């Protein structure tokens, strides 16, 4: 199979309406709230997600029209393979964020730990399960020097 067709199941409404001022990861600006608006036919799929503290959102990096194989991440000026960085300019343009669930109302899921731009097309929501998705003894390559001991790097907010 050489091509796969997917479709947005909803849209992310975010206070970030341009690339400026978005944190590189939502945890760096923890108080900002956004929401997912699902197409009505998917609303029932949210049943029982309100009992989870976190969710994984998969979405389409719709503002990128580049598919790079290597690139410089925002945090430093070294070149790395695209699969060692989290750039939007990647094959298939699928974005992934772990977010904190605040509440669910009808077809809307409100969350914090936001790092998506407004109007981002949503592809999937998965419940975040600590036993499946958290890991101990993690080493994070070129990122460790920027993030170790919980420090927040200087270049976390895109200006």
Q: How many CB atoms lie within 10 A of CB 115?
A: 23
First and final CA of the chain: distance in angstroms?
41
Q: What's the alpha-carbon Rg for the chain, to the nearest Å?
A: 16
98 binds a second copy (CB under 8 A): yes
Q: Which two tokens stand for residue 132?
A: 């499946």
DSSP H or E run through 145: helix 144-147
Smaller CB separation from a second copy, 2 or 159: 2
154 binds a second copy (CB under 8 A): no
Candidate residues 37, 74, 86, 158; the one interacting with a second copy per rule CB under 8 A? 86
Distance CA 28, CA 118 (A): 18
159 binds a second copy (CB under 8 A): no
* Residues in contact with a second copy, shown as a per-residue x/- string from 111 to 140 under the rule CB under 8 A: ----------x-xxxxxxxxxxxxx-xxxx
Using DSSP's 3-state secondary structure scheme, residue 33 falls into strand
35 binds a second copy (CB under 8 A): no
Side-chain-facing half-sphere of 121: CA atoms under 13 Å: 12
31 binds a second copy (CB under 8 A): no
At its nearest, how many Å lie between a second copy and the CB of residue 46? Answer: 5
Which residues contact a second copy (rule: CB under 8 A)?
1-9, 25, 27, 41-42, 44-49, 51-56, 58, 60, 62, 69-70, 79-86, 90-94, 96, 98, 121, 123-135, 137-143, 147, 150
């Amino acid at each position: 199979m050489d091509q796969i067709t997917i479709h947005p199941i909803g849209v992310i409404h975010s206070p970030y309406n341009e690339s400026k001022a978005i944190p590189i990861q939502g945890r760096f600006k923890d108080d900002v709230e956004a929401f997912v608006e699902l197409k009505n036919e998917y609303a029932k799929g949210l049943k029982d997600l309100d009992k989870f503290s976190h969710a994984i959102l998969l979405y389409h990096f719709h503002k990128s029209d580049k598919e790079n194989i290597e690139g410089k991440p925002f945090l430093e000026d070294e070149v790395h393979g695209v699969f060692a960085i989290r750039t939007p300019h990647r094959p298939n343009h699928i974005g992934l964020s772990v977010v904190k669930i605040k509440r669910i109302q009808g077809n809307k899921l409100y969350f914090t730990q936001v790092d998506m731009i407004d109007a981002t097309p949503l592809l999937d929501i998965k419940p975040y399960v600590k036993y499946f998705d958290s890991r101990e003894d993690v080493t994070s390559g070129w990122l460790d020097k920027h993030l170790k001991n919980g420090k927040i790097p200087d270049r976390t907010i895109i200006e």
